Structure 1
Amino acid sequence: MTTEAPNATLPRFSHNRVHDFVRGILIGNNVPEDSAETVARCLVAADLRGIDTHGVNRIPSYMERVRQGVLDPRAIPELTAATPVVAQVDGKNSFGFLGATMAIHHAVEVAKTYGIGMVSVKHSNHFGMSAWICQRAIESDMMSLVFTNSSPALPVFGGKEKLMGVSPIACGAPAGSTKPFILDMAPSVAARGKIYKAKRRDEKIPLDWALDKDGRPTDDPSAALEGVMLPMGGPKGSALSIMMDVFSGVLSGSAFAGWVTNPYDPSRPANVGHFIVAIKPDLFMSLEEFKSRMDYLYQKVVGSEKAAGVERIYYPGEIEVDREEERRINGIPYTLGEVEALNVEADKVGAARLEPDM
Structure 2
Amino acid sequence: MPTRSITELTTLATDALVRAGAGRAMAESTARALVAAEAQHLSSHGLSRVPQYCSHLASGRVDGKAVPRVQQTRPAALLVDAADGFAFPACELAVQEAIRSARACGAAFAGVTNSHHSGAAALQLAPVAAAGMVGLAFSNSPGAMPAWGGKRPLFGTNPIAAVFPRRDASPLVIDLSLSKVARGKLMVAKQEGRSIPEGWALDKDGNPTTDPAAGMEGMMLPAGGVKGAMLALVVELLCCALTGAAFGFEADSFFPAEGNRPRIGQAFLVVDPAALAGGEVFHARIETLVEAMLVDEDVRLPGSRREALADHAEAEGIAVPATLLAQLEALARA
Give the TM-score range, shorter chain.
Answer: over 0.9
AA in 2 matched with 1:23: T
Contact 2:140 2:248 in 1 (8 A): no
1:258 pairs with 2:244: no
Structure 2: runs of 5+ lacking an equivalent: none
Corresponding residue SS for 1:258: helix
TM-score by length of 1: 0.89
Asked whether the equivalents of residues 150 and 261 of structure 1 are also in contact (C-alpha less than 8 Å), the reply is no
Counterpart-to-counterpart distance in 1, 2:293 and 2:106: 28
The reply to whether residue 317 of structure 1 matches residue 309 of structure 2 is: no
CA distance, structure 2, for counterparts of residue 91 and residue 148 of structure 1: 13
Give the structure 1 partner of residue 321 of structure 2. 335
User: Aligned pair 1:243/2:234, yes or no?
Assistant: yes
CA deviation after TM superposition for structure 1 residue 257, in Å = 5.2
* Correspondence for 2:9: 18
> What residue in structure 2 maps to residue 296 of structure 1?
288
* Residue in 1 that maps onto 2:332: 346
Aligned-partner Cα distance in 2 for 1:313–1:331: 28
Alignment partners' CA distance in 2, 1:30 and 1:60: 13
CA contact (8 A) 2:84 2:261 kept: yes
Q: CA deviation at 1:45?
A: 1.1
1:166 aligns to 2:157 (yes or no):
yes
More helix by share: 2
Give the match's secondary structure for 2:144.
Answer: strand
Q: Name the SS of the counterpart of 2:113 in structure 1.
A: strand
Q: Distance in 1 between matches of 2:186 and 2:289?
A: 34
Q: 1:180 aligns with which of 167, 171, 180?
A: 171
Q: How far did residue 100 of structure 1 move?
A: 0.6
Kept after mapping to 1: 8 A contact 2:251/2:260: no
Q: Which residue of 1 aligns with 2:130?
A: 139
Counterpart of 1:147 in structure 2: which amino acid? F
Contact 2:19 2:331 in 1 (8 A): no
CA distance in 2, matches of 1:179, 1:300: 17
Give unmatched runs, 5+ long, in structure 1.
1-9, 307-311, 349-358
Worse-superposed segment, 337-346 or 224-233: 337-346
- How far apart are 1:42 and its partner, in Å? 1.1
Structure 2 length as normaliser, TM-score?
A: 0.95
**Mapping for residues 31-50 of structure 1, pairs under 5 Å:** 31-50=22-41
Deviation at 1:285, TM superposition (A): 4.0
Whole-angstrom CA distance in 2 between matches of 1:282 and 1:45: 30
When the two chains are superposed, the root-mean-square deviation of aligned CA atoms in Å is: 1.6
Structure 2 match to 1:352 = none
Q: CA deviation at 1:328?
A: 1.9
- 2:143 equivalent in structure 1: 152
* Candidates 251, 270, 280, aligned match of 2:272: 280
Q: Is the contact made by 1:48 and 1:324 (CA closer than 8 Å) also made in structure 2? A: yes
Q: Deviating runs (4+, > 6 A) in structure 1?
A: none
TM-aligned CA deviation for residue 343 of structure 1: 2.3
Alpha-carbon distance between aligned partners in 2 of 1:268 and 1:121, rounded to the nearest angstrom = 18
Give the alignment of 1:61-80 within 5 angstroms: 61-80=52-71
TM-superposed CA distance for 1:47, in Å, is 0.9
Q: How many residues align?
A: 333
